[in-house]
Amino acid sequence: MNKLPNHAAKAAFAPGHDADDLEGCRALASVLSQVGDKWTILVVGVLSLGMSRFNALQRAVPGISHRMLTHTLRGLERDGLVKRTAFAEIPPRVEYELTARGRSLTKPLAQLAGWASANRLAIESSRSRFDLHQGAPGTIGKKSS
């Protein structure tokens, strides 16, 4: 078993997880990367309202490209969060809906969205103060010309 070099990371893990298990940490990071993705959060939010077709999803998620929506839906289907149903019709019809596991994600995402909303202004203020004193992101350590 690979050991993590920094045992302070243990505080970040839920009960029952061994923070010294590097493979377990990587697996957890992989899941969090998928469910915490901007597009995943928005797609799950739309699907929490009910079944939807691809084009309706694309219209409901501002700024998502056809390619990114396809990629996101495939990842969610692969993880067992979304069920894809294709109907043998002309023209073809495909509908997407959350599975039970996908529906179980909506409450934590709603809590995260609530936290983000409650803290948005304070975070924006902190960013402005930081950028004023340290330079905007990407400019730290660079001299202005």
Residue ranges per structural domain of the chain? 1-35, 39-134
Residue 103: CA atoms inside 13 Å, Cβ hemisphere, count? Answer: 9
**Vertex 58: Cα angle to 52 and 120 (nearest 5):** 105
pTM of the model: 0.74
**Vertex 23: Cα angle to 103 and 29 (nearest 5):** 40
The whole-number pLDDT of residue 1 equals 46
Along the chain (145 residues), what's the average pLDDT of each consecutive run of 10 residues? 48 57 81 87 96 97 96 96 95 95 95 94 95 73 50
Q: Where in 82-140 does DSSP place strands (E)?
A: 82-87, 93-98
Is residue 31 within 8 Å of 75, Cβ to Cβ?
A: no
**CATH number for region 39-134:** 1.10.10.10
**Vertex 16: Cα angle to 15 and 22 (nearest 5):** 105
- Alpha-carbon distance of 118 to 82, in angstroms, equals 29
Give, to the nearest 10 degrees, the angle between helix 22-35 and helix 38-47. 60
**Which residues, other chains included, contact 136 with Cβ-Cβ below 8 Å and sequence gap of 6+?**
none
Of 85, 91, 100, which Cα lies nearest the Cα of 52? 85
The whole-number pLDDT of residue 8 equals 44
21 alpha carbon, distance to own chain's centre: 24
